Amino acid sequence: MHKDNEDYWIIRHTKFKGDIRSVGNIGKDVQVNMRGYELKIQRLRDAMLNKVGYLENKSVLEIGCGIGMMAPDLVRLGGKYSGIDISNVALEKAREKCPSGTFICNNAIDYNLNTKFDIVFCTDVLVHLVKDENWRQAIRSMKNHLKDGGVIIIKEDIGDDRICPTSHVVSRSRSEYVDASANLGLTFEVFDSVPGFYCLTPLKKMHDL
């Protein structure tokens, strides 16, 4: 596996230890970041409930969980939560936020947890995988950790064009996501009522129809 921004995140979490700016917008203050995360959490919840109807006893895996901003809300709704992040410093804070969650130190690309989940999700993570092969492998790994009937939910800024505003950010186009999903046997769907969120679901095989 080729590293892809791992050192950047380890350093950032160490510098902003426990601070929401370790996962949010460095250029904005804590209050602005909190409001942004509150909206993101609400929309994530709406997207999940739209797809699965309820979270009670559903197994949920978050890729790039950071300091655990999403975990407490999902656990309150009855989800069995697990999170992966590359930074042990971030995971220390995540465990404080959500003691009942399971947190694992690993990359977002080629992990293998030897278990499958009802929901696998990530929010504003894929944009930081600047190498296309790592980006595709990250999606493949999410699919590999899905139970039958499971769903992948991602939150990304996806437009008509590929945008690379900095050396550690690549916003891929909708056509890139559609093509990558199709190559992995996934459909790529837009949540009309949940801006910025998308759903990837395995295509049904002929014997399932």
Q: According to the model, what pLDDT value does residue 125 have?
A: 96
| Cα 47 to Cα 53: distance, rounded to the nearest angstrom | 10
Residue 14 lies in a domain: yes
> At residue 204, does pLDDT exceed 80?
no
Residue 46 lies in a domain: yes
**Three-class DSSP category at 195:** coil
pLDDT tens-place string over residues 107-146 = 999 999 999 999 999 999 999 999 999 999 999 999 999 9
Residue 121 lies in a domain: yes
Residue 161 lies in a domain: yes
- Residue 165 sits in a domain whose CATH number is 3.40.50.150
Q: Distances in Å between the alpha carbon of 115 and those of 32, 51, 118, 144?
A: 37, 21, 11, 9
Residue 136 lies in a domain: yes
Domain coverage including residue 104: 6-208
Q: Which residues of 73-112 are buried (b: 16+ CB within 10 A; e: fewer)?
A: bbbebebbbbbbbbbebbbebbbebbeebebeeebbbebe
Residue 1 lies in a domain: no
Number of structural domains in the chain: 1
Q: According to the model, what pLDDT value does residue 2 have?
A: 57
Residue 208 pLDDT class (50, 70, 90 cuts) = very low
> At residue 207, does pLDDT exceed 70?
no
Residue 42 lies in a domain: yes
pLDDT tens-place string over residues 51-105 = 999 999 999 999 999 999 999 999 999 999 999 999 999 999 999 999 999 999 9
